[in-house]
Amino acid sequence: MIVLKYLLVGAAAVAGAAALPSQSQASEWGCQVLLCLSGDWQGTPSCHPPIYKLIAAMKAPGFNWPTCPQANSSAARFEKYEDCPSGWQAVGSYDSDRPGMRQERNICRTSSDRLTLPVTFTNSGLSQDHENGSRQAQIEIEGKLVPAKIQITGNDRGSSLGTGSTYYTISRPMRGKPWFIEYDDANGLRQKSWFNLNMP
């Protein structure tokens, strides 16, 4: 791969630098980390030492992510959830306008007038949670049936009829590879590589 070859050349150049040995070693490690995390590091034994070193270092106070200057790599960032389907909005699992409250956006929501996907009501549409005014359904997304809730707001929550707004909510899918690094490839184009840090 061109990108991996580029990173290997960069890592070798850093390793051979005579000035500032400590900085050169840090850059060499950063390029090794980028190279390994851009591929299958769990299945590549030579990648285990630099990544095990990384995982151990992440637990230490004042940790800074090792970067590769030759590829202009960024520090890694973490995104727990996948993007919501097109037309859906990521929201918290409960509504709160209180200052200082930070919600985990673990739900995808859309209004009934924007939903264009097939919907199947469970139990012939008769299942309803009287406590929070929601009904159960399934929505076909990318060929799969996904459990959903239908919530009606602004009306009598004990009734399935009324003039309130209707929303569909689904659980926001979690990423199998929640970490990512950005870097410049051999053509100078910005790339993003997703990875996980699960031990093999």
pTM of the predicted model, to two decimals? 0.67
**43-76 burial, b for 16+ CB within 10 Å, e for fewer?**
eeeebeebbeebeeeeeeeeeeebbbebbebbeb
Domain ranges of the chain: 2-79+177-195, 89-171
| pLDDT one digit per residue (tens) for the chain, 200 residues | 434 444 444 443 333 333 344 556 668 999 999 999 999 999 999 999 999 999 999 999 999 999 999 999 999 999 999 999 888 999 987 544 455 555 788 999 998 888 877 787 765 443 444 445 568 888 888 888 889 988 887 654 444 444 568 898 999 999 999 999 999 999 999 999 999 999 98
pLDDT of residue 55: 96
pLDDT of residue 162: 47
Give yes or no for a contact between 137 and 152, defined as CB atoms under 8 angstroms apart: no
